[in-house]
Amino acid sequence: MFASPIRLHYNWQTMNTPAQETYDVIVIGGGASGTALLYTLAKYTDIKRLALVEKYADAGLVNSNAKNNSQTLHVGDIETHYSYKKAAEVKPASMMVARYTERLPEEEKQKIIRKMQKMALAVGEEEVKALRDRLVHLKEIFPTIEGLEGKDIAKLEPEVMKGRDPKEPVFALYNPEGYAVNFGELSRSFIRATKERASERADILFNTEVTSITKNGEGYRLETNNGILEARAVVVDTDAYSLGFAKSLGYGKEFSLIPIAGTFYFGPEVLRGKVYRVQDPKMPFSAAHGDRDIDAGGKTRFGPTARFFPVLEARNYGSIGGYFRASGLGKWKTWKSFYDILLEPVRFKYLLKNVAYEFPYFGRFLFLPEVKKIIPTMSGFSLRRAKGYGGMRLQRVDTNTKELLLGEGKIIGHNIIFNMTPSPGASVCLFNAMRDACEIEKFFKNEFVFDKNRMQQDLGCENLETGTDVSLKANYPA
């Protein structure tokens, strides 16, 4: 017997009728990316029938959940693995989120976004030199960014310098105009804005899980736990799950997924903002960093640690099967790609260390040296595992080239788009929505109009073209 979907209408009442509808566009996935697209289509297009399908009872409960990410609006200022070109492109794309929240009532805005200072901290001569060189170029992109010596760091983040060896070279990039974001609340805000704007055109179907997608003429048929849905076009915004759906329709068969699970430790509230370390570009995660947590008051969150864990969704062991279906582990070239990528000496050492960080009780002491690079006086006894915190960041692998593809991925098929958006995908969710809206307009051969210029004016990104490769290494049109 099928469970009944929760269908949200403008008056926020629910209806328990089975979902058997035909839509122009269905968006699958209620995280920041999926809800941003629904909002974009509702506000800036005249598409007549829209739906968002989410398997959980509310939006933003998986990777967008504040517990499952670092709550950072990534703009390229302290992301030391970004090229200067990428930083220049990411900044306006990410700032669309900040511009969106400026239009909200103050109470709602405060739940979503807060100003928070950010630092990128270099420790040791090699890192210090690299960061000094980087500052010269970043000044052109971020006028408010500054380079700080030890005494200046101490004024802004006293605990970062307290107890540090005075002979140890340190330097920091500092941006007072940083942001912390609760992407789960952002997702729910997009839902509210959609219903206020397009209550008669958009259905929000919670508690509705898509089990299969099949081609149906020019459109698609979606089987769900609540019945059948049909759509002329579909956008799959389900991060790692997207690749499994793509493969079921014959797309993206050359890709696999390396499942990296991130976890965190809590310490006392010792930071005023965010302090990131210089990142090794070979790593799929940023280096361990410290964040003043906006969800758990009075604490600093340190991490992430990272480990290989074969699931598509953190703490959901039922997604193990989905991982094996999407990863293509039945192919020899997948195993060869994993061997070449994971046994690369820097990565292999990194993964072994992170396994040790997971040990009960002793793990915090093994992780302590990473924390002490940020807070030299931190004690292992002050750290405790942040239970229930940490998400999955499944990294794509091109098994043809044996290449690790860090960041986001997109597969464009016939009237269908599959988005894979691990961190920092939520930061550029509105830009990606704008890009997908342009593709959907092409799908319908301009039957519906997307007012891209108005969206750009509203969100302050007039000079940002949707063809720009902001967060992807490349697009992967089928």
In this prediction, residue 285 carries a pLDDT of 60
Kindly report which listed range (226-240, 268-282, 287-301, 460-474) carries the lowest average pLDDT score.
Answer: 460-474
Q: Residue 205: its pLDDT value, please?
A: 97
89, 464 in Cβ contact below 8 A?
yes
Whether the per-residue pLDDT at 473 is higher than 70: the answer is no
In the prediction, which pLDDT does 296 show?
Answer: 83
Provide the residue ranges of all domains of the chain, joining segments of one domain with +.
6-65+183-252+407-477
Which tokens in the block code for residue 331? 């192919």
How many C-alpha atoms does 383 have within 13 Å on its Cβ side?
27
Residue 475 confidence (pLDDT) above 90: no
CA distances from 321 to 28, 241, 317, 329, 421 (A): 20, 11, 9, 12, 20
For residue 12, what pLDDT is reported?
A: 36
Residue pair 418/245 in contact (Cβ under 8 Å)? The answer is yes
- State the Cα–Cα distance between residues 448 and 40, nearest whole angstrom: 13
Residues pairing with 231 in the sheet: 23, 220
* Side chain identity at residue 118, one-letter code: K
List, for residues 37-76, the tens digit of each pLDDT value: 999 999 999 999 999 999 999 999 999 999 999 999 999 9
Q: With 50 as the cut, is the pLDDT of residue 19 above it?
A: no
User: 139-151 pLDDT, tens per residue?
Assistant: 999 999 999 999 9
- DSSP for 60-127, please give it: S-STTSGGGS--B---SSS-TTS-HHHHHHHHHHHHHHHHHHHTS-HHHHHHHEEE--EEEEEESHHH
Tokens 């061997």 label which residue? Answer: 339
Q: Note the pTM of the prediction, 2 decimals.
A: 0.92
Cα separation, 478 vs 476, in Å, equals: 6
Q: Are 440 and 25 in contact (CB under 8 A)?
A: yes
SS3 431: helix
| pLDDT value of position 64 | 95
Q: What is the pLDDT of residue 2?
A: 35
Which of these CATH numbers, 3.30.930.10, 3.50.50.100, 3.50.50.60, 3.90.1490.10, describes 6-65+183-252+407-477? 3.50.50.60
Separation CA 260–CA 326 (nearest Å):
15
Helices of type H across 157-306: 158-161, 183-198, 240-248
DSSP code string of 333-394: HHHHHHHHHHTSHHHHHHHHHHHHTTSTTTHHHHHHHHHHTT-TT--GGG-EE-TT---EEE
d(CA 372, CA 333): 40
Handedness of CA 277, 278, 283, 286 (dihedral sign): positive
Confidence of residue 306 (pLDDT cuts 50, 70, 90): confident
Higher confidence at residue 409 or residue 16? Answer: 409
pLDDT at 254 over 90: yes
The letter for the amino acid at 360 is P
Give the number of other CB atoms < 10 A from CB of residue 203: 24
What are the tokens at 194? 């959609």
- How far apart are the C-alpha atoms of 22 and 42, rounded to whole Å? 17
Secondary structure class of 437 (helix, strand, coil) = helix
Q: Is the pLDDT score of 91 beyond 50?
A: yes
Res. 10: pLDDT tops 50: no
What pLDDT is attached to residue 346?
86
Q: What is the pLDDT of residue 176?
A: 96
Half-sphere exposure of 85 (CA within 13 A, CB side): 5
Whether the pLDDT of residue 18 is over 60: the answer is: no
pLDDT of res. 105:
96
The answer to whether residues 440 and 233 touch, using CB atoms and an 8 Å cutoff, is: yes
Rounded Cα–Cα distance for residues 141 and 85 (Å): 10
